[in-house]
Amino acid sequence: MRRARGFTLIEILVALAVLITVTAIAYNGMIQSLQTQSDQEAATNSQAKLRRVMEVITQDLRSAIFGGILNQPYTPTARAVSFGLIDGGAGYPVVNKQDHYADILSAAATASALGIGVNDQLLMVNGAQSIVLSVSGVAQNGQPSQWRLSHSSCRNPLAYAPTGTLVFRIRAMGIRYDPDQDTLYTREGGTEQAMAFDITNFRIDYVYTSSSGTLRTWDFSGGAFPGMTFTDAGTTYTLQRLQVVMEARETSRGRAITRTYTGQVELLNNGTYAIGTVVSCS
């Protein structure tokens, strides 16, 4: 009868070598898989954050009153934009306008029914120009169905058109990017709050179009924000949309994973009223 033979040293060494090789291959594969997963998670987190922030920005901009851009709380630049959200019903007709007050027509019997109070913000439009006013006083002016809205801190230079000047109650809002802090801020009235952190780049493109369909993106190196329209070489361009470009960065395995997100917002106008040129207090 033949005796069973054990493994020789060489066979054991060969088996160990094969085991080590297989283990190393499996380990390297697992490490690469974990590294890929880490990179994908970083990219996904960046993309998801940018998408959420963009949704908030574009939703607000789509609601901008008359599709217009305002000059407060922030001056419009490539890193800041201001707009108004309507905060009441239809516009009130202006029956008398002076430097520091305006008389409006309303059937409201009380100030609370009028719905306009001290510190509220108003947008006055006359078809060609507009201005943002902060209310300092509300009172009946002694005439039937007329209310006097005072704005003592602002001398209103807006031209008065008896049949076409309206007042709307609004919320003037703004978005501003601080590149030193990589932070987006939003502001309404006198309160500024952080909107998003770790935003490594942010840019707003103001896209204009002519009647022939020619597109122009305003270059801030050539001057300040021109308003809703500007004329160049005899051609008038009207602001049609805003393009917002954001970048965020996440760290994975000591490396920066960067993602960029772009959104466009058509500035919608109801065709009846237009903000026109936004003027400042004088």
Summarised one tens digit per residue, pLDDT across range 85-144 is 998 767 899 999 999 999 999 999 998 899 999 999 999 999 889 999 999 999 999 888
Start and end residues for every CATH 2.40.30 domain found in the chain: 85-170
How far is it, in rounded angstroms, from Cα 87 to Cα 119?
Answer: 13
Task: Check if the beta carbon of residue 67 is closer than 8 Å to that of residue 84.
Answer: no
- Which band of pLDDT confidence, cut at 50, 70 and 90, is reported for residue 232? very high
Let me know if domain 85-170 sits in CATH 1.10.260: no
The predicted model gives 213-240 an average pLDDT of 94
Q: What is the mean pLDDT of the chain?
A: 88
pLDDT higher than 80, residue 63:
yes
Backbone dihedral region for residue 179 (phi beyond 0: left; psi -120 to 50: alpha; all else: beta): alpha
- Pairing of β 92-97 and β 137-140: unpaired
pLDDT higher than 70, residue 206:
yes
How far is it, in rounded angstroms, from Cα 84 to Cα 65?
Answer: 6
Task: Give pLDDT, residue 269.
Answer: 73
- Residue 234, token pair as written in the block: 């005899």
The predicted model gives 258-269 an average pLDDT of 90
The predicted model gives 147-157 an average pLDDT of 96
Residue predicted with more confidence, 234 or 127? 234
Partnered with residue 97 across adjacent β-strands are 102
Residue 213 is inside which H or E element, if any?
Answer: none
Backbone dihedral region for residue 95 (phi beyond 0: left; psi -120 to 50: alpha; all else: beta): alpha
- Condensed to tens digits (0 to 9), the pLDDT of residues 10-60 reads 777 777 877 788 777 767 766 676 666 666 776 778 889 999 999 999 999
> What's the pTM value of the predicted model, to 2 decimals?
0.81
Q: Which amino acid is at 104?
A: I
The predicted model gives 258-266 an average pLDDT of 93
**Among 100, 106, 117, 194, CA closest to 154:** 100
**Among 167, 184, 166, 183, CA closest to 175:** 184
How far is it, in rounded angstroms, from Cα 68 to Cα 269?
Answer: 8
